[in-house]
Amino acid sequence: MLAYDGLCTFEFGVAYEVFGLPRPEMASDWYRYQVVAVENGPLRAAGGLTVTADGGLEDLERADLIVVPGWRAIDAAVPEPLMAALQGANRRGARIMSLCSGITVLAQAGLLSGLKATTHWRYAGAIAARFPDIALDPSVLYVDNGAVLTAAGSAAGIDLCLHVVRRDFGTDAANSVARRLVVPPHREGGQAQFIPGPVARDHEKERFSPLFDWMRENIAADLPLAMLARRAGMSLRSFQRRFETASGLPPGEWIAMARLREAQRLLEMRTAADLEEIARLAGYGSAANLRHHFRTRLGISPTAYRRQFGRTTA
């Protein structure tokens, strides 16, 4: 496990809980865990903590699995000695995995060139711009390329760590660790289900905000573009252009996303409403149509989404 000044505490803790916590129920062949300092300490971690490591970069020479927690900043330079150590570990067949913004360490070391990878959706644009040779997929929770693995947002690190346990020790072991963590052993869907909906850009917000509000309130109705343009007092062509400038999305895509968010909201309420009723209220018309859009856009079924995110009502 790498440690450095500016350490991301949550991701560090996630990997420790999975790989470093003593687990006598797993017998004697469980992971042997060590913290390796990237630079001289003491090392400051997020949350006001100080970390003292028990090894240095030379210890990576005998590591089978190297975990890179979230890096101190997505655009922060990676020290040359660390990149050289990771490149050497990669050449000899060690597995290297990044959590959240830790992807920038792997990218700067050239370990992701030509490979599929993921990171937190907030960092996807910055990584894609700096490293166009990486096949970035910000919709998934993690990517396993065999020797190089990447996880999306912070909590997706749990998903990737459990995946590695499943790969190394089997499903029963991964399920046992998940039970101790009180998390599902495998989450359905990708991080698309956690990305907030679009909002208006400031320079057009005043003009379009009333229309956005009206569209959300009437999301179950048919919303033809010609009618929306008339409500906005614009020609159809002008409306389509300025709507996209204001929201960042074409009108049809904005409506699709708004309907998806409304369906998510209704499913999260955990009411007695069945899928047909939720589909009607969100503007999908039928449960079959609702299921199709959830699978296509979120990679998860409405039933699974409700089970995972639904909150118990009083």
pLDDT digits (tens, 9 = 90+) for 91-133: 999 999 999 999 999 999 999 999 999 999 889 899 999 999 9
162-175 residue pLDDT tens: 989 988 888 888 88
Structure tokens at 44: 């400051």
- List residues bridging with 2 in a β-sheet: 36
Contact at 8 Å (CB) between 126 and 75?
yes
pLDDT (0 to 100) of residue 140: 83
pLDDT (0 to 100) of residue 197: 52
pLDDT (0 to 100) of residue 200: 47
188-213 residue pLDDT tens: 556 655 555 544 445 555 678 889 88
pLDDT (0 to 100) of residue 38: 93
Q: Cis before residue 42, ω within 30 degrees of 0? A: yes
Chain-centroid distance, C-alpha 7: 19
Q: CA separation (Å) from 11 to 15, 72, 161, 250?
A: 6, 12, 11, 36
All domains of the chain in start order, with CATH:
2-191 (3.40.50.880), 202-309 (1.10.10.60)
Tell how many helices (H) and how many strands (E) occur in the chain: 13, 10
Q: Which of 136, 155, 245 has the alpha carbon at shortest distance from 201?
A: 245
Instruction: State the burial class of residue 36 (Cβ atoms within 10 Å of its Cβ: 0-12, 13-18, 19+).
Output: buried
pLDDT (0 to 100) of residue 79: 94
Contact at 8 Å (CB) between 111 and 90?
yes
Q: Taking all residues of the chain, what is their mean pLDDT, rounded to a whole number? A: 87
Give the residues of the chain that fall short of pLDDT 70: 185-206, 270-272, 311-314
Contact at 8 Å (CB) between 160 and 149?
yes
Q: Which element (helix H / strand E) includes 64?
A: none
pLDDT (0 to 100) of residue 155: 85
How do strand 148-151 and strand 95-98 relate by DSSP bridges?
Answer: parallel
pLDDT (0 to 100) of residue 265: 84
